[in-house]
Amino acid sequence: MIQITLPDGSVRSFEKDVTPYEVAVDISAGFARNVISAKFNDTVIETTTPLTTDGSLTLYTFRDDEGKKAFWHSSAHVLAQALEELYPGVKLWVGPAIDNGFYYDVDLGEEGTISEKDFKSIETKMIEIARGKHDFKMRDVSKAEALSYYKGKNEYKVDLIDNLEDGTISFCDHSTFTDLCRGGHIPNTGIIKAVKILSVAGAYYKGDEKNKQLTRVYGISFPKQKELTEYLELLEEAKKRDHRKLGKELELFTFSQRVGQGLPLWLPKGAALRERLENFLKAAQKKAGYEMVVTPHIGQKELYVTSGHYAKYGEDSFQPIATPSEGEEFLLKPMNCPHHCEIYNSKPFSYKELPKRYAEFGTVYRYEQSGELHGLTRVRGFTQDDAHIFCTPDQLDKEFKDVIDLVLYVFGSLGFENFTAQVSLRDPENLEKYIGSDENWQKAEEAILNAAKDKGLNYVVETGEAAFYGPKLDFMVKDALGRQWQLGTIQVDYNLPERFDLAYKGSDNEMHRPVMIHRAPFGSMERFIAILLEHTGGNFPLWLMPEQAIILSISEKYEKYAEKVLISLENDEIRALTDNRNETVGKKIREAEMQKFPFMIIVGEQEEKDNTITVRQHGGEDLGTISVEDFVKIVKERISKSLKTFK
């Protein structure tokens, strides 16, 4: 008998070679019908894999992230089989599950192409294969066998196998199809009931622009047609909320090929929006004891060599700028932290003067590949709401928790209420990716875990996701469409203080090394605004709107009264403008709705006579005819409910 431990801590005894599916049946026959994947002792396995030792077993349905991963990975195999049958001679590379669906990278040959008109035939073929209810079967193969299978037929798979160790290679078979695979599948293809091919794109082999460009086919699948229908409706809503579309309609930002790819240009309304966000955070930071600093956009190459950023970003970023002085080179700064370390180093500190909290809205530059650029979410120049706290080890816990409070204040003020925290630790199997001693990493990781626990955060731990210089706490926010984004980040760093030889004099009159906290509640202004745009659909919180009201005069006879109302609103610090065009009120209202104005103020003969205004809200609700003073009260009350003062 073997002992199987379930997630609730209970232990059940089974005969050796019991499968995860049989364990599921023992729990509940109804539950077993929905189980599609499993994990045993931290290894993803199939539901048909025999269990031979004691261990911990987790069973997954499609509702679980791991279940979706197995479902979509299996669907990628079905996609690959469909492509092989529809496009003879196609060469497969890789086909992983992604956050929403899956893709497969393929080489269609010199003449082969896939376009939108081909999507239906691919979907039909996939459903035809799925209906065969073919079992996914794993088998181990030797390296020689694997190479023999692909040699002369698929150089991409041969290259993959060349980099694998003998004894770690396996194939997955279903129907007439075989693929190189590590495992993690659903029981059979019949569980796949609904499929949609979403798009095709170019993808360089191994992500290297110097290599051949392959075709990447994206798809998604579900166990029920209803779920696919709901997802496609969500996609349509996402298209309406696309920040690139809304940014253009609301006249917030633009891009210019002459300026350069990935370098956004902020238009007046967008610049004003950014300024309000900056002022909002600056006010909170001031209360929290931060001091604003300003650093240049470039620095000597040696600065980033010292910090480790050159090794991390140098080869794949903007290249060094040579000066007339021989051997002198500068870099566009990839991060603000080295500059802030040098500010700290500009004078000696004692423990009585710590913590020092330096904040900056600093623009940094990284050369993202052109294929990875995407509106404001992936750019080459972006502004971080950066701050670095230099403190004693005894102050670390309080400072870290105070930053958590600041991040939560930012999220609450902007309507991001659905989020989880992610503690990112280094990968113990790949330590060469990181700088610093094991002792410092252990201290930093413990500090973050303790703070997350003490603040009662709903958090998960992700191994291998740490920054190269230290572990971090990231805030993963779900937007109105249920999509997850990484926004605020807090990081503990013992390494840069060593690299820059930072010090303070302790109470013992000895010199000590400070601890450094990196933090950015927004992350970057560009990405944050993009996510905020899509989350709100352009209907920002009232306090943040570029204009909070538009005054619509019924005819030119009431333009002077409209201007009088505008002045009254501006005197009460309400942002508004007038629309005195020779157009019908109906057209003005429709256009104001498109521009997302929170309030439309209509003025005509009766309003002028009674010294009132008629107010309509975005979305169609009428507030009736009221005085300007009452309207001001309504606006200020609504702002005060969403924008609390940071304490």
Active site residues: 337, 366, 384, 386, 388, 472, 518
Closest by CA to 312, choosing from 329, 337, 290, 289, is 337
Binding residue ranges for Zn(2+): 337, 388, 518
- The Cα–Cα gap between 263 and 265 comes to 7
Query: How buried is residue 483: exposed, middle or buried, by Cβ count under 10 Å (0-12/13-18/19+)?
Result: middle
Contacts of 602 (CB under 8 A, 6+ apart): 552, 554, 585, 589, 613, 614, 615, 616
Compute φ and ψ for 407, nearest 5 degrees.
Answer: -60, -45
Angle at 113 between CA 111 and CA 114, to 5 degrees: 165
User: Is residue 441 a contact partner of residue 470, using CB atoms and an 8 Å limit?
Assistant: yes
| Closest among 487, 493, 490, 492 to 524, alpha carbons compared | 487
Distance, in Å, from the CA atom of 129 to the CA atom of 80, rounded to the nearest integer, reads: 11
Cα–Cα distance measured from residue 450 to residue 397, given in angstroms and rounded to the nearest whole number: 8
What phi and psi values does residue 554 have, to the nearest 5 degrees?
A: -65, -35
Q: Which of 70, 69, 45, 49 is nearest to 58 (CA)?
A: 45
Q: What phi and psi, each to the nearest 5 degrees, are found at residue 268?
A: -50, -45
Q: How far is CA 30 from CA 27, 33, 584, in A?
A: 9, 5, 62
Phi-psi region for residue 65, left (φ > 0), alpha (ψ -120 to 50) or beta? alpha
Residue corresponding to tokens 């007339």: 324
- Choose among 2, 11, 179, 33: nearest CA to 104: 179
Strand boundaries in 285-404, DSSP class E: 291-292, 298-300, 321-322, 329-332, 356-365, 381-391
Say how far apart CA 160 and CA 188 lie, in whole Å: 26
Cα of first residue to Cα of last residue in the chain, in angstroms, is 59
8 Å CB contact between 318 and 365: yes
Cα–Cα–Cα angle for 338, 344, 347, rounded to 5 degrees: 140
Pairing between β-strand 11-14 and β-strand 2-5 as defined by DSSP bridges: antiparallel
How far apart CA 567 and CA 40 sit, in angstroms, is 69
What is the CB-side half-sphere exposure of residue 146 using CA atoms within 13 A?
27
Structural contact between residues 136 and 46, judged by C-beta atoms closer than 8 angstroms: yes
**Block residue for tokens 């605020």:** 488
Residue ranges of E strands in 159-264: 170-174, 177-180, 194-204, 213-222, 253-254
Strands (E), 545-621: 549-553, 576-579, 599-603, 613-617
